[in-house]
Amino acid sequence: ENAHLGLLLPESCLNIDAFKKMREMALKFQMRSLIDFDKPFKNLMTKVVGLALKKTPNKDQKISCFYQNSEFKRSPSSFFNNPKKIFNIHCSNKENKILDHLFSLPHITLKNNAHFAL
């Protein structure tokens, strides 16, 4: 209880379906920050993100999201509402509200409607 945890993760953890359960687990706790470190390692091709959380229940405290020298404060509920709980840390609150509005409108997706897509 009240322990702190910091992780360096591949950027794919933010949005790939295989990491959905990890994102759901992180959202159960108080997420302190999500940080885009871009490519901090010389011989590593993937981008890296940092996740800092505190082992206390999530009470919808704001999360500091750092991306390209900008900081956005986001509520955990804004990630809960995303399809597959995607952590879109590159979006400001305003941009995320636009996405929420778009997803609230009737729409058709490629799922079960396409044989192949890029």
Q: Walk along the chain (118 residues) and give the pLDDT tens digit of each residue.
A: 789 999 999 999 999 999 999 999 999 999 999 999 999 888 888 999 999 999 999 998 999 999 988 898 988 988 888 888 999 988 887 888 888 888 888 888 878 888 875 6
Domain containing 81: what range?
Answer: 4-104
- Inside any domain, residue 100: yes
**Which sign does the torsion angle of CA 24, 27, 29, 32 carry?**
positive
30 found inside a domain: yes
What pLDDT does 117 receive? 55
Q: What are the backbone angles phi and psi of residue 91, rounded to the nearest 5°?
A: -100, 135
Two structure tokens written together for 105: 């409108």
Query: For residue 112, is it within any domain?
Result: no
Q: How far is residue 70 from each of residues 22, 26, 58, 66, measured CA to CA in Å?
A: 25, 23, 24, 6
> Is residue 117 a part of any domain in this protein?
no
* Domains held by the chain: number: 1
> What pLDDT does residue 82 have?
82
The verdict on residue 33 lying in a domain is yes
Q: Is 115 domain-assigned?
A: no
Domain annotation covers residue 20: yes
Q: What is the pLDDT of residue 115?
A: 82
Task: Confirm whether 91 is domain-assigned.
Answer: yes
Note the pLDDT of residue 34: 95
pTM attached to this predicted model: 0.79
